[in-house]
Amino acid sequence: MASVVLDVTSERVRPQRSVRRIVTPRRNSSRLLAAVITFLTLVATLAGISFPGTVSQSVFVPLIVCAGFLLSGRTLARAIAVVVAGYLVVVAYAWGDRAVEWSVACVVLAVVGLVFFVTRNVQALGVPLSVGSGMLKDLRERLDRQALAPELPDDVRMEHCVLPAKGGAFSGDFVVCARHGDQLDVALTDVSGSGHSAGMRALLLSGALSGLLGETDPAGFLPAANRYLIRQGWRDGFASAIHIALDLRTGSYSIGTAGHPSAAHYHADSRRWEMVTGAEGLLLGLFEQGRDDFSRAAGILAPGDVVVLYSDGVVEGPGGDITAGTQRLLAMTQSAISEGLTGGAHRICTSSAALGGDDDRSVVVIWRDGNRRYRRPML
């Protein structure tokens, strides 16, 4: 049996370069920002001493907030110390023991505590809050790019949509795809949980699965993904997945699932829907499984046909009736076929979201134009 070696060096280098690209300019400018905050603190201190009845002591609060957002580590601590020192100097010269001054003192103390509380997780990375947000945005954009369809023949189309639960920024669902020669590989994965915790695991898992796509034969993809998840040792780190390997020349495909809903296939010649059966497998990341544990189903995507992959969030409504949810999905997809499949994946996701539920939703639609014939595979 041929062995598969996955070189993860490039996957490690890319995030490091991405982080370096964001962090380096900020580090170079942190001293300048700290100097600006120090200068503004000096100005505010002199103004507070010279015009105690005109300049409010609350002028130091925006400086603390700016320091917390733009600086990190020791630079942040020093900047806040300077601002607080300036505030204490003004208090020493202009304290009147009025209620408003006590209120400002409480606000300053609360803001300092809030800044350190909010930035405590980011401080471990040694980057300010603004850079941490930029890093997450960059990683999320990278995840979105991994789902973009590669260059395909003129008669093949693919669209996808991932809709995080409750309008969040991160989703536990993700899509990765790759093309190697005449083979298109697409995997839709649903990581356990939702929100930021699932989103972080999805970011890590997507890079590994993207590297596996096309580097293993179709039957070996899900077992390899399962081994990777087990090695991570994540708590509640299981995932469901569906994988399709499509021959772009003949239209033949094979589908494998791991604890995931079946794909749906629309046959243009009979104008009927068929749920793809025969693909079975347990969830990824629970225990060791080999090739024989993931059976695959085969079919042919003829001209005019449509294959739909989807996560359970699309078919699980508030009542939990998956059968009824699947029927709704097919009805929505049929409507998309009638209106034109371009943009159909997004319409299906948004329509299912309107029905309620608090799970992430993802849909992949692959179809062939009906005006081109191609060779059937030789039996």
What domains does the chain contain, in order, with CATH numbers? Answer: 9-134 (no CATH), 148-368 (3.60.40.10)
Dist. CA 159–CA 344, nearest whole Å: 8
Mean pLDDT of 128-135: 58
Write phi, then psi, for 282 (nearest 5 degrees): -85, 170
Q: Is the pLDDT of residue 12 over 80?
A: no
Q: What is the reported pLDDT for 235?
A: 73
List, for residues 112-130, the tens digit of each pLDDT value.
888 887 777 665 555 555 5
Note whether 240 and 258 are within 8 A (CB): yes
Local confidence band at 172 (pLDDT 50, 70, 90 cut-offs): confident
Mean pLDDT of 141-155: 78
Tell me the pLDDT of the chain averaged across its residues. Answer: 81
Q: What is the reported pLDDT for 54?
A: 80
Note whether 170 and 360 are within 8 A (CB): no
* N- to C-terminal Cα separation, the chain: 24
Q: Is the pLDDT of residue 67 over 80?
A: yes
List, for residues 253-298, the tens digit of each pLDDT value.
999 999 999 999 999 999 999 999 999 999 999 888 888 999 999 9
Q: Please tell me the pTM assigned to this model.
A: 0.69
Mean pLDDT of 96-107: 77
Dist. CA 353–CA 119, nearest whole Å: 33
List, for residues 25-64, the tens digit of each pLDDT value.
445 577 888 889 999 999 999 988 888 878 888 889 989 8
Label the pairing between strands 252-258 and 264-267: unpaired
Mean pLDDT of 207-235: 88
